Amino acid sequence: MTKLHLIADVGATNARFALVSDSTTELLEQLTLPASAYANMTEATQAYLHKIGNPKLAKACIAIAGPAHKPRFTLANNDWQVDKADVEQLLNCDVFWLNDFAVQAWGVTGLQPSQQLVIKSGTAKRDGNRLVIGPGSGLGVAGLVNEKGHWVTVTGEGGHVSFAPSNSQEIAVLEYLLQRYEHVSVERVASGSGIPVLYQALAQITGQASLHDEAAAIANAAMQGDGLAGQTMDMFFSILGKSIASAALQIGATGGIYLVGGILPKLQESLLASQFTDSFSRRGRLSNYLEDIPIVLSLDSDLGLKGAALALAAQEE
């Protein structure tokens, strides 16, 4: 008899659910629920199960944008409270909890060439460490390390390292933000939620009128030639490039860098036209090291769910 397993990829904006069977990693009963429509993780999971007829589950793999090793926690970029015991009681099966970028990294191991866009060419070492990183509501970071022919994921909270400005304008932004926040992390400025933060900061610093408060509107305004919005997006891509370079140096990402998440595929044209790759490669004595590293953008919108399915399958081995 075929067994069914639940997989979930839970971020600050959306909770994505699907089923897989014990014989394949093909996604079944796939559904995305907006986090804002539910009070917590338990309610969202219950709603999904109800919508698909409350099937009996054998196992579950839940990837979530938070400290998944803790029994209770709050997501970093929304107010969802997660009580793992409540969710496990609801599912009534063995549950594997993973960091959301751990499954993004797992997904990269199965990413098809047709769903890859080369942002920066280079020569990847076949067994070299890989960096998996991407701006969403926050900035997710994970690594892949090859251990005797098998990939091992390395996760942490890399988006919360300190923002390190590298020119006078970025220093002015940091000084402005330090008046508002106790700590200014990289994801405070290099993420989907960071784009409006940068926009407001630059408006105040330069004395320009602030007309937008959402990332998509700012990105669209930049495409239409709006000066402040264009300045914001230029700084966003520059900071993102430098931040990714720092992460690549820390993990030794000679196997390549994979940009993941839902934001950058929507900004492909702007990303390719920006100073992103120049900002990434410009690192003084280590510039040659970074110039050799290829950067690939994932175009697979289901990468997290597919990665969760792969992670669950690996538990069976």
Residues 94, 117, single domain; the answer is: no
Residues 138, 192, single domain; the answer is: yes
Mean pLDDT of 31-50: 94
Residues 39, 117, single domain; the answer is: no
Q: Per residue in 205-226, pLDDT tens?
A: 999 999 999 999 999 999 999 9
Residues 261, 167, single domain; the answer is: yes
The region of weakest confidence among 67-76, 101-110, 136-145, 296-305 is: 67-76
Asked if pLDDT for residue 239 goes beyond 80, the answer is: yes
Residues 70, 150, single domain; the answer is: no
Q: Indicate the pTM of the whole model.
A: 0.91
Q: Give the span between the Cα atoms of 155 and 120, in whole angstroms.
A: 24
Residues 125, 66, single domain; the answer is: no
Number of folded domains that form the chain? 2
Residues 139, 50, single domain; the answer is: no
Residues 269, 312, single domain; the answer is: no
Domain of residue 68, CATH code: 3.30.420.40
Residues 140, 85, single domain; the answer is: no
Domain of residue 223, CATH code: 3.40.367.20
Residues 9, 152, single domain; the answer is: no
Q: Per residue in 120-134, pLDDT tens?
A: 999 999 999 999 999
Residues 193, 281, single domain; the answer is: yes
Q: Per residue in 9-29, pLDDT tens?
A: 998 889 999 999 987 788 999
Residues 47, 123, single domain; the answer is: no
Instruction: For residue 27, give its domain range.
Output: 4-105+304-316
